[in-house]
A and B are shown apart, each in its own frame.
Chain A
Amino acid sequence: MNRYKLIDLAVFLLIILFTYAALSKLLEYDKFTVQLSQSPLLTAFAGTVAWAIPALEIVLAVLVSIPRMRLYGLYGSYTLMVIFTAYIVAITRFSDYVPCSCGGVLQKLGWTEHLIFNLFFVALCGIAIVLQVHKEHNPSPVAT
């Protein structure tokens, strides 16, 4: 199997994840804003974060789907997933009650599952970045 196929898989999963996450937040925008403002870490910034996060997710989904911009998109996705992961760790340690602001089915995940889910995407983005750079510096197709 061509290991660069893994890049396509990562891109595919990221597009689905970000589009789904952004749309489910925007469809329930009021609720999302209130949920964010209940978060002990985000109270002060809820208004900005409420539109910035879905917007960023859409931009990243677009970037990774354009081959020329893919690497930037992957770097962005990697950083965003690291931030989400750090946020989960911070909020579970921060207060007794933990409000959830994730959209759709992701809301059903427990915090440990959520952490594993995010770490999986962090790893996936990391691997995809390495492979993407490898591919860009080594244009001839390599079969392994």
Chain B
Amino acid sequence: MGYSFSAPPLRRVYRTLVVLTLGGMFSVWILYLIANQVNHRDNGFVRLFPPHPVLPTSHVLPLQYNSYYLAGHAGDTLYLGNITAPFHVVAVHQNLVDTQYVRIRLRYPLERLKRLTLSIDSPYFYLMDGIAPSLFRGYIGQWEATKFMYDSTYFTEAVPVGPSSLIVRAVMANREYALGRQSATLPHIRFDTTILQKQIDGLFCTDGILQYDRRQHGLLYLYHYRNEYIRFDTNLHVLERGRTIDTTSRAQIKVGSYSKGSTITMAAPPVMVNYESSVAGKYLFVRSGLRASNETEEMFRDAFVIDVYDLTLEPRERYKFSFYLYNHGTEKLKSFRVYGRTLYALYDHYLTSYTFNDRYFPPGH
């Protein structure tokens, strides 16, 4: 061949290719910088970090599957449900050493069930499916589930609050979320559309976490996208509306739709204020998504921050302090719950626990 691949015109081509490659990468890098600035600004509030408010325990329980979730607690045993295998339960002693695998028996046509979730409320365990919809219940230890009450209402969240009543969250005909009480007696279902307050669309903007604290017989709903929680009783009476320490009082989300409105979705990455929460006695634990002014971005990459509130205090004095739950190896925290004086942290393939430090959580509550 008479013409070499290293002749001057081709050398110019190689140079051009290098320039184009760098240019392409540079333009994405610029995009990255712009987005980074928007997504990771600090939020104009300050957290307190006392030394070691919670102490890690020595045991780590390895988990074979990443489909486990924290289903509840009874006595000194923690129960893990499994999203993909809804009848498979792991009972873990609080020392995280003794584990027992349980299989729930249910005589019911499985093809009618869509998404069963397990919830523990001693002495019962509940299997609930808000899409089917179906409710089953059985005794912990016997693990035999049966239908037990009215279950014809669709729901997106449900917590058992008594032997035959549930607090549910469901999508109303106007496509907005509302909280309701479902019971075995008539009227079986009653919704109160005033508890969750619409800011933007009434669906995404009111999304949040519904939790029941059995000892206080109180419910708490914490919004995902604004700094607010609602405490109410099992009769849906609002006791108070409180605020978390950050400054996002209005949900920062954008909602869009396509396919002529039949699919509604987020039209921008939402600003997640509160990922999840856990109520234990007088304490409220909140996993926050917002960085405070006195935190570094590195910290926020390597750990999740948990804010602790004392719900018995005056609203302005409730925030106590914060601590970090670090990534376990490369895995980020998936979920956490506090039962008694133990905090359980679930990762894709690990379960770890922490105990309260008496200095910051005085015993006797």
Q: With the chains together, A95 CA to B32 CA distance in Å? A: 11
Q: Mark A117-142, 1 if CB is under 8 A from B, else 0.
A: 00000000010011001100110101
Check A137–B256 contact: CB distance below 8 A.
no
Residues of the A chain whose Cβ atoms lie less than 8 Å from the Cβ of B332: 96
Are A133 and B10 within 8 A (Cβ)? yes
Docked CA distance A137–B20 (Å)? 22
B13 within 8 Å of A (CB atoms): yes
B269 near A38 with CB under 8 A, answer yes
Would A38 and B268 be within 8 Å (CB), given that A82-B25, A83-B24 are in contact? Answer: yes
Contact status A40-B269, CB under 8 Å = yes
Which candidate, B1-9, B53-61, B136-144, B225-233, is the interface stretch facing chain A?
B1-9
For the complex, what is the distance from the CA of A85 to the CA of B27, rounded to whole Å?
A: 12
Cα of A73 to Cα of B14 in the assembled complex, Å: 16
Whether A34 and B265, one on each chain, are in contact in the complex, defined by CB atoms closer than 8 angstroms, is: yes
Chain A residues with CB below 8 A from B25, complex form: 82, 86
Interface centre among A82, A85, A87, A140 (most CB of B within 10 A): A82
Known: A37-B256, A96-B332, A133-B9. A142 touches B1 (CB 8 A): yes
Total CB contacts across the A-B interface at under 8 A: 96
B190 within 8 A of A: no
Shortest distance between the CB of A89 and any CB in chain B (Å): 8
The proximity string for B residues 8-34 relative to A, scoring 1 for CB distances below 8 Å and 0 otherwise, is: 011001101100110111011101101
Partner among A78, A82, A134, A144 whose Cβ is within 8 Å of the Cβ of B5: A134
Question: How big is the B interface, by class?
Answer: 35 or more
| Contact partners of B5 in chain A: CB under 8 A | 130, 134
Q: Does B65 sit at the interface, judged by CB under 8 A? A: no
Quick check: is A20 within 8 A (CB to CB) of the other chain?
no
Contact in complex: B24, A40 (CB < 8 Å): no
Query: Are B21 and A82 in contact, CB atoms less than 8 angstroms apart?
Result: yes
A85 to B39, CA, bound (A): 22
**Please, which residues of chain B bring their CB within 8 A of the CB of A90?**
28-29, 31-32
Interface residue A109 (Cβ < 8 Å from any Cβ of B): no
Distance, CA A75 to CA B15, complexed state (A): 12
Give complex CA distance A81, B28 in Å: 12
Does the CB pair A129–B17 fall under 8 Å? yes
- Expressed in whole angstroms, the Cα–Cα distance for A41 and B37 within the complex equals 11
Task: Please determine whether B10 and A37 come into contact, CB atoms closer than 8 angstroms.
Answer: no
Whether A40 and B39, one on each chain, are in contact in the complex, defined by CB atoms closer than 8 angstroms, is yes
Most buried by A among B257, B265, B332: B265
**What are the residues of chain A within 8 A of B27 when measuring CB–CB?**
83, 86
Main SS class of interface, A = helix
B32 and A41 within 8 A (CB):
yes
Closest to B24 in A: A82
The answer, yes or no, to whether B186 is at the interface (CB within 8 Å) is no
**CB-based nearest B residue for A28:** B258
Q: Contact between A94 and B24 (Cβ–Cβ < 8 Å)?
A: no
Contacts of B29 in A (CB 8 A): 86, 90
Closest chain A residue, CB of each to CB of B267:
A37
Residues of chain A lying within 8 A (CB to CB) of residue B38: 43-44
Residues of A within 8 A of B17 (CB): 78, 126, 129
Q: Does A17 contact B (CB under 8 A)?
A: no
- Once the chains are docked, how many angstroms separate the CA of A4 from the CA of B304? 56
Residue of A nearest to B7 (CB): A137
- Taking a contact as CB atoms under 8 Å apart, the answer to whether A79 and B9 are in contact is no
Contact A31 B32 (CB under 8 A): no
Given contacts A40-B35, A41-B35, A43-B35, contact A134 B3 (CB under 8 A): yes
A34-B265, A86-B28 known; A138 and B3 CB under 8 Å? yes
Query: Is B85 positioned at the interface, with any CB of A under 8 Å from its CB?
Result: no
- B299 at interface, CB cutoff 8 A: no
A94 & B32 in contact (Cβ 8 Å cutoff): yes
Which residue of chain B is the closest to A137 with respect to CB atoms?
B9
Q: Enumerate chain B residues within 8 angstroms of A37, measured Cβ to Cβ.
A: 254, 256, 267-268
Given A38-B269, A40-B269, A86-B25; A134-B34 close (CB under 8 Å) = no
What are 11 pairs between A and B in contact, CB < 8 Å?
A: A34-B256, A38-B266, A40-B39, A44-B34, A75-B16, A90-B32, A94-B35, A95-B269, A133-B9, A134-B5, A134-B10
Residues on B facing A (Cβ under 8 Å): 1-3, 5, 7, 9-10, 13-14, 16-17, 20-21, 23-25, 27-29, 31-32, 34-35, 38-39, 254, 256-259, 263, 265-269, 332
Interface contacts beyond A44-B34, A94-B32, A133-B13: sample of 7 additional A-B pairs, CB < 8 Å, sorted by A: A34-B258, A38-B265, A38-B267, A41-B28, A44-B38, A95-B269, A126-B17
